[in-house]
Chain A
Amino acid sequence: MEQLAPLPVVIPLIMAALSVLVEKLPGKHRLLDLLGLGTVGTVLAIDLKLVGLSFEKTLVYWFGGWLPRNGFPLGIAFAIDPAAAGLAGFAALLTLLGLIFSWHYFRSIGSHYHCLMLLFLGSMQGFCLTGDLFNLFVFFELMGVAAYALTGYKIEDTGPLEGALNFAVLNSIGAFLVLLGLGMIYSRTGGLNLAWIGTQCASQGADLTLQAAFMLLCIGFLVKAAVIPFHFWLPDAHAVAPTPASLLFSGIMVELGIYAVARCYWTLLADQEAVSWMGTLFLSLGLATALLGAGMAFVQRHLKRLLAYSTVSHSGMMLAAFALADPGALGGFFLYLFGHGFVKGGLFIATGIVLHRLKSVDEDQLRGRGRELWLTGPLFCLGGLVLAGVPPFGTWVGKALIEQRAEALGYPLVTPVLLISSALTGAAVLRAGLGIFYGAGSPNFLSACAPATGDQELPETAKALDRTPFVMALPLCLLFAAALGTGAFEELSRRVLLASARFCHSEGYRLAVLAGRAGAVTPLPLPQLEWQKGLLSGAAALAAALLALFGLPLPAWLQRPYKQFFQGVLRVLRTLHSGYVGDYVIWFLLGSAALLLATWVNSGL
Chain B
Amino acid sequence: MSELPFLVTIWLFLIGLYGIATSRNTIHLVSCLFVAQSSTYLLLLSVGYRAHGSAPILSGIPPGAQPVDPVVQSLALTDIVVGATVSALILIFALQSHKRSGTQDPRRTPPMRG
Contacts and interface: CB of A to CB of B under 8 A. Distances in A.
Interface in A315-340: none
A183 B21 contact: no
A452 interface: yes
Contacts of A173: 17, 20, 33, 36
A578 B107 CA distance: 10
A176 B71 CA distance: 18
Contact of B71 (A141, A180, A192, A575): A192
A176 B13 contact: yes
B112 A579 contact: yes
Interface string A233-263: 0001001000000000000000000000000
B106 A186 contact: no
Interface string B26-59: 1001000100110110011001000000000000
Given A145-B89, A452-B113, A161 B13 contact: no
A186 B47 contact: yes
Contacts of B17: 173, 585, 588-589
Contact of A183 (B33, B72, B82): B72
B97 A450 contact: no
Given A161-B93, A165-B90, A172 B33 contact: yes
B8 to A, nearest CB: 13
A296 B109 CA distance: 23
Interface residues of B, number: 41
Contacts of A451: 112-114
A180 B86 contact: no
A124 to B, nearest CB: 16
Contacts of A573: 114
Interface stretch (A152-160, A499-507, A538-546): A152-160
Contacts of A299: 114
Given A172-B86, A186-B71, A577 B9 contact: no
Contact of B86 (A145, A452, A589): A145
B86 A141 contact: yes
B20 A138 contact: no
Interface string B72-107: 100100110010011001100110110011000011
B64 interface: no
B14 to A, nearest CB: 8
Given A169-B33, A172-B33, A578 B85 contact: no
A173 B39 CA distance: 11
A225 interface: no
A451 B29 CA distance: 26
A158 B107 contact: no
A586 B21 contact: yes
Contact of A158 (B21, B47, B72, B97): B97
Of listed B86, B89, B111, residue having the most chain A CB within 10 A? B111
A452 B40 CA distance: 37
B19 to A, nearest CB: 9
B2 interface: no
B66 interface: no
Given A145-B89, A169-B90, A176 B37 contact: yes
Contacts of B93: 148, 152, 161, 164-165, 168
Contact of A581 (B9, B40, B47, B106): B106
A162 B23 CA distance: 15
B88 to A, nearest CB: 9
Contacts of B21: 582-583, 585-586, 589
Contacts of A574: 113-114
A462 to B, nearest CB: 22
A588 B21 CA distance: 10
Contacts of A305: 112
Contacts of B29: 169, 581-582
Nearest to A142: B82
A176 B47 contact: no
Contacts of B14: 589
B94 to A, nearest CB: 7
Nearest to B47: A187
A435 interface: no
A134 interface: yes
B33 A582 contact: no
A577 B100 CA distance: 23
A580 interface: yes
Nearest to A578: B113
Nearest to B23: A582
Interface string A193-225: 000000000000000000000000000000000
A192 B74 CA distance: 13
Contacts of A163: 112
A144 interface: yes
A92 interface: no
A149 interface: yes
B112 A159 contact: yes
A187 B6 CA distance: 12
A305 B22 CA distance: 27
A171 to B, nearest CB: 9
B66 to A, nearest CB: 15
A46 interface: no
A163 B113 CA distance: 12
A179 interface: yes
A578 B110 CA distance: 10
A151 to B, nearest CB: 9
A582 B20 contact: yes
6 contacts: A152-B93, A168-B89, A173-B17, A173-B36, A452-B114, A580-B111
Query: Which A-B residue pairs are the 7 nearest by beta carbons?
Result: A579-B111, A574-B114, A187-B47, A161-B97, A451-B113, A179-B40, A582-B21
Interface of A: 134, 138, 141-142, 144-145, 148-149, 152, 155-159, 161-165, 168-169, 172-173, 176, 179-180, 182-184, 186-187, 192, 236, 239, 296, 299-300, 305, 450-452, 573-575, 577-583, 585-586, 588-589
Given A159-B112, A162-B97, A162-B112, 5 more contacts: A236-B111, A450-B114, A578-B111, A582-B23, A589-B14
